Structure 1
Amino acid sequence: MNLLKKQGFFNSITLYIGTALGFFNLIILFQRILTAEQIGFFVLITSVSLLYTQLAAIGFSSAITRYFPFFKTDDRKHNGFPLYVFKITLIGFLAVTVCYIFGKEFIQNYNNKDKGASLFYSYYYYIIPIALFTLWYNLAETFARTTFHNILPSFLREVLLKVMTALAVVLVYFNWINYDQFVYWYVLSNGLILLLLLFYLKKLDLIRFNKVTEKVREQSPEMIKYGLYAMLAGGSFAMIQNIDTLLLKVFSSEAMVGYYGTFFGMALVINLPAKALNTTSYQIIADAWKTEDLVKINKIYHKTSLVQFLLGCLLLIGLIANWQNILVMLKKPEYVNYYDVFIVLGLGFLFDITGGLNGAIISFSKNYKLTMYILVTAAFICVGLNVLLIPKFGMLGAAISYSATMLLLNFSYWAFLAYRYKLQPFNIQFLKLLVISIVVLIIGLLLPYLNNFFIDVPVRSLLMLFIYSILIYYFKISHDINEFINQIINKIKF
């Protein structure tokens, strides 16, 4: 197994374990130990620190990937590029921090009935160290990835941090620590994984903070310009992913953020196939653009869209049909009233993964700047929809805003690729798959509940999976899937 395949394999394993841990924390532990307000505050920590970091980094997570190969040297000094990145991003962090500190009163008083009497404002300043640790971790991880040492950084973020969080919640349950100490613990956990990563980089001597050379200074204007572009694109997407929770806090309460964040975390599972499949396809798309091999690009575009739609539909209908079992896991009776919120959010994620590699295809083309313009426009639309719909419909308004934005965003990507390059991933197979999904969902909903969570979940889920697989195979929805099933059948026969 070569280095890239090895790293891809272990990163995929880490991603699945991390997703399972995140799901367990949010759906099982949090619901039984923390209040809805406390869960909402935790969701806000994640959302605010992510946006904070996106702005403070000034796009240099992307700039490292693009420019580090030009400055990389065998003596590990790298023309002082690591120190240059540290200085630039520190300026960005200080600028955002000043705005964050002096903006507290405005944020606190803007359309808030609690007038600051909430967990978010009680722990307002704790987000600053979390954002700083996250910023430095992201930068260090990017340096590690560019030197092909990304297994441990991925493990620290996806697994260790979530294990530390789970441990803290368990300690709250046994009254060994209180919620204040839980917040301290989470801040320190972010600092711990950063220290471990820096120690790892230092031990391998991957980067050194040496004096910035003239070579780096000459490229500085170009790198800052590129970074600002990346910040607008990445910041806009982060805004789309997180603005709903922030505005729910503004227009309602942290409890509503807690409920909504839980549904969002559940629906996020639908995005898992895209994370696993897309990473391995990016390099293929990038290489195909070098020769403008549109036939190859369209082939990958179609396959990823179809497989992701197939897996996304299966996950979505499975979650919907198991709604009664999900309520058992969530335990809090308040979730019964918000079934529609989860369905709308699930559709939003399905819209997104069905687009396949549309955004990446544009990003790797000579029209890469268009991605930024589309994302910025989508972010403004998303904010406008949330401001308009949340006061009227609450959580459902936030869910509609997110899903409508994802539909519009992916439609824009699709329309450009279809018009400019005649790239089209959709065919009759998608319509067949949609009908199959609806039929299997109806069967799943009509199955009688077996009055036992541990029996009903596997029986209902496996029966739906079996019927879904049979129909997919019979109607030959995907050649790759049929080939995979044939291999399994041949092994069983053998």
Structure 2
Amino acid sequence: MNLLKKQGFFNSITLYIGTALGFFNLIILFQRVLTPEQIGFFGLITSVSLLYTQIAAIGFSSAITRYFPFFKTDDKKHNGFPLYVFKVTLIGFLVVSIFYIFGKEFIQSFKKDNRGSSLFYQYYYYIVPVALFTLWYNLAETFARTTFHNILPSFLREVLLKVLTGLAVVLVYFNFINYTQFVYWYVLANGIILLLLLTYLKKLDLIRFNKVSEKVRTLSPEMLRYGFYAMLAGGSFAMIQNIDTLLLKVFSSEAMVGYYVTFFGMALVINLPAKALNTTSYQIIADAWKTDDLAKINKIYHKTSLVQFLLGCLLLIGLIANWQNILFLLKKPEYVNYYDVFIVLGLGFLFDITGGLNGAIISFSKNYKLTMYILMAAALICIGLNVLLIPKFGMLGAAISYSATMLLLNFSYWSFLAFRYRLQPFNVQFIKLIIISMVVLCAGLALPYRHNFFIDVPIRSFLMLFFYTVLIYYFKISSDINEFINQIINKFKR
């Protein structure tokens, strides 16, 4: 757990800085510089490229984590495993690209009436290089993570990419570049962070593209099978995360996608604790399964779930209580009518992070195929709910579909681990946390609004944080949190 805490700490700093930058870009810059349609397209290029990458990778982001420990060697050649991964995923990318490029007319047929005005159709082919850069970055980042060098990769993706994106929006604001050049810039920015990561890996000599060994070729069929299952699982999860955006485009407009992407980006803040902890935890879980160390797995499972729920509740109630201040930042008056969309999305993210490492634990076990079946079923349910609810409720329908899917998905994971392996992260502390969160939320909402953003936000947020911290400390919700608070108190005493 020392390694988990150390790297989790640095990743948390990077992720919080990155989230603050992303929040600033989306809530401040985008809303004041770009139109809702342009924001919507930015959301679409992200969503489509993620789905593109998930399929093209053929599940090898997961396969690297699972199999690299068996091929890793002291001479850094690693039995030629890195070259093998590159070849396989390049074939996957070429196949997907052929379908994507020649399938443009079919995709456009879903909404023939706005081909000329739709930004998605105007910039359709720009998604291909973004997907390629994203694919290679994900693979390189996974190799870095397996050797516990995940801080810089996280920084490049979470911080530098957002800085470059924000800078481009500022240039649009001052008319130095137009929106088309902004899209060029974004594609180039993804290429830059990939180049920097590859340079970093080369400098540390973490991977080499040596000849593929017989050992790798022997296990190739098994790895391809595993990768295929991981692709179906990862593709299904990516579908759950992005299908609402795509179907909003089909059933409404890019402007509505822009509003929804904004709410989704705000709610994504709640997922921050999970991203900080899970980056390192995945490799530890994979190593623990090699020795069937269920006690270690259950310990990490419980602690990550509890801490993620604790921090997720704090972030959600803080955002809800500061809704009037968020509306001030968003500037566009249209957002006033969609307050419920954000709350529903926020609950969906809270359901997800509360599950902790449940999906990863199953994925790295011998029952990894089950993850695929559960995710595929969840993706189908999510698609069905979106098709039914978006035409009737619009953005709220998309939000309900997402949150209901995340609740069902994590309940399925929890049920299997509880009954098959007796792995159980939940206890009475979670109930206490729900009560504490509701009390603090009610107190935060009851505070009078001061009609000044720069006064109300610090006061409201500080008071809520103070009472929340006091209550979780008094009721001893988490030993790790109490230990951290005690260290701070002792420093002040000294």
Q: Structure 1 pair 236/335, CA: closer, same or farther in 2 (3 Å)?
A: same
Aligned ranges for residues 89-108 of structure 1 at < 5 Å? 89-108=89-108
1:428 Cα deviation from its structure 2 partner: 3.0
Aligned-residue offset at 1:354:
1.4
Describe the superposition over 1:135-161 as per-residue Cα deviations: whole angstroms up to 9, x where unpaired. 122222333334454433332222221
Match of 2:306 in 1: 306
The aligned residue for residue 123 of structure 2 is: 123
- Closer/same/farther in 2, CA of residues 385 and 490 from structure 1, 3 Å limit: same
Partner Cα separation in structure 1 for residue 492 and residue 186 of structure 2 = 48
Aligned length in residues = 494
In the alignment, which residue of structure 2 is the partner of 1:109?
Answer: 109
CA deviation map 1:371-404 (0-9, x unaligned): 2211111111111111111111111011000000
Relative distance call for 1:475 and 1:169 in structure 2 (3 A) is: same
Where does residue 361 of structure 2 map in the other structure?
Answer: 361
Taking the aligned partners of 1:241 and 1:207, their CA distance within structure 2 comes to 31
Partner letter of residue 466 of structure 1? Answer: F
Closer/same/farther in 2, CA of residues 5 and 392 from structure 1, 3 Å limit = closer
Write the letter of the residue equivalent to 1:436. Answer: I
Contact 2:260 2:395 in 1 (8 A): yes
User: What's the counterpart of residue 241 of structure 2?
Assistant: 241
Residue 415 of structure 1: CA displacement?
Answer: 1.5
What residue in structure 2 maps to residue 137 of structure 1? Answer: 137
Written as runs of structure 1 = structure 2, the 5 A alignment for 1:41-440 is: 41-73=41-73, 76-111=76-111, 113-115=113-115, 117-282=117-282, 285-286=285-286, 289=289, 292=292, 294-440=294-440
2:458 alignment partner AA:
P
Q: What is the Cα deviation at residue 29 of structure 1?
A: 1.0
Contact 1:77 1:209 in 2 (8 A): yes
Amino acid of the structure 2 residue aligned with 1:62:
S
After superposition, the C-alpha distances for 1:161-198 in whole angstroms (9 at most, x for unaligned) are 11111111100000000001001111111122222333
In the alignment, the residues of structure 2 paired with residue 339 and residue 62 of structure 1 have an alpha-carbon distance, to the nearest angstrom, of 37
Provide the residue aligned with 2:25 in structure 1. Answer: 25
Aligned position for 1:448? 448
* 1:3 CA displacement: 8.4
CA shift, 1:283, in A, is: 5.2
How far residue 203 of structure 1 moved from its aligned partner, in angstroms, is: 4.1
Contact persistence 2:278–2:357 (CA under 8 A): yes
Between stretches 384-393 and 301-310, larger displacement belongs to 301-310
Cα distance 1:149–1:484, how it changes in 2: closer, same or farther (>3 A)? closer
Q: Whole-Å Cα distance in 2 between the matches of residues 358 and 146 of structure 1?
A: 19
413-422 vs 331-340, which moves further: 413-422
Which blocks of at least 5 consecutive residues in structure 2 are unaligned? Answer: none
- SS of the aligned residue for 2:426 comes to coil
Structure 1: distance between partners of 2:283 and 2:189: 33
**For the Cα contact (< 8 Å) 1:109–1:115, is it kept in 2?**
no
Q: 1:433 to 1:193 in 2, by over 3 A?
A: closer
Please report the RMSD computed on the Cα atoms of aligned residues, expressed in angstroms.
Answer: 2.5
Shift of 1:59: 1.2
Specify the SS of the correspondent of 2:114. Answer: coil
Residue 7 of structure 1 deviates from its aligned partner by 5.0
Any idea what SS the aligned residue of 2:477 has? coil
TM-score by length of 1: 0.93
Alpha-carbon deviations, 1:306-331, whole Å to 9, x = none?
32222211111110010000011111
| CA-to-aligned-CA distance 1:433-467 (integer Å, 9 cap, x gap) | 22222222122112111111000001011111222
TM-score scaled by structure 2?
A: 0.93
Contact 1:322 1:457 in 2 (8 A): yes
Q: CA deviation at 1:71?
A: 4.1
Compared with structure 1, are the counterparts of its residues 310 and 67 closer, same or farther at alpha carbon in structure 2 (3 Å cutoff)? closer
Q: 1:357 to 1:79 in 2, by over 3 A?
A: closer
C-alpha distance in 2 between matches for 1:206 and 1:129:
25
Q: Which segment is superposed worse, 393-402 or 430-439?
A: 430-439
Contact 1:237 1:375 (8 Å CA) reproduced: yes
For the 8 Å contact 2:33–2:173, the answer to whether it is kept is yes
Structure 1 residue 299 displacement after superposition: 4.2
Give a deviation string over 1:290-311, Cα, whole Å, max 9, x none: 5655555444433332322222
- What per-residue deviation string (whole Å, max 9, x for no partner) do you get for residues 346-391 of structure 1? 0001111111222233234332321221111111111111111111
Contact 1:57–1:231, Cα closer than 8 Å, also in 2: yes
User: Do 1:79 and 1:211's aligned partners in 2 also have CA atoms closer than 8 Å?
Assistant: yes
